Amino acid sequence: MQNLPSEERPSTKLLRDLYKNRKKLIEIESSNEPYVSKIRPLLHKDYWLSHALIKFLNYEYDLGIKIKNKKTENKSAIEKLKEMQSKLSEKMNCEEEEKDLF
């Protein structure tokens, strides 16, 4: 990939698309009719273009960034929350036991 001219790389093409999409977003947001129905599809497209751009840049420049899947990321976040809740409840129980001692 690094041997390709920069204008022919997938990341360059994605960056152009992302730029055009964001120009449209700015136009709609600054217009007299910034309706959610107009903005939401562009935001969705912006999210996926940004995500794809990061993946392509990671591949093209061999950056070594580990990108998680959205489902995996959500599961790990839920697991972390449960772990934090259990630690918090343990701490609260310890504090209550200390109060009982005094």
Mean pLDDT for each consecutive 10-residue tract of the chain (102 residues)? 75 94 95 92 93 88 77 63 70 59 54
Among 81, 51, 56, smallest CA distance to 68 is for 51
The continuous run of DSSP H or E covering 17 comes out as helix 10-29
Quote the radius of gyration of the chain (alpha carbons, Å): 23
Whether 72 and 61 map to the same domain: the answer is: no
Whether 29 and 60 map to the same domain: the answer is: yes
Provide the residue range defining the domain that includes 31: 1-65
pLDDT score, position 82: 72
Whether 6 and 46 map to the same domain: the answer is: yes
Whether 2 and 45 map to the same domain: the answer is: yes
pLDDT score, position 19: 97
pLDDT score, position 1: 55
pLDDT score, position 62: 84
DSSP 33-89: ---HHHHHHHHHHHHHHHHHHHHHHHHHTT-------HHHHHHHHHHHHHHHHHHHH
pLDDT score, position 86: 74
pLDDT score, position 102: 53
Whether 93 and 56 map to the same domain: the answer is: no
Structurally, how many domains does the chain consist of? Answer: 2
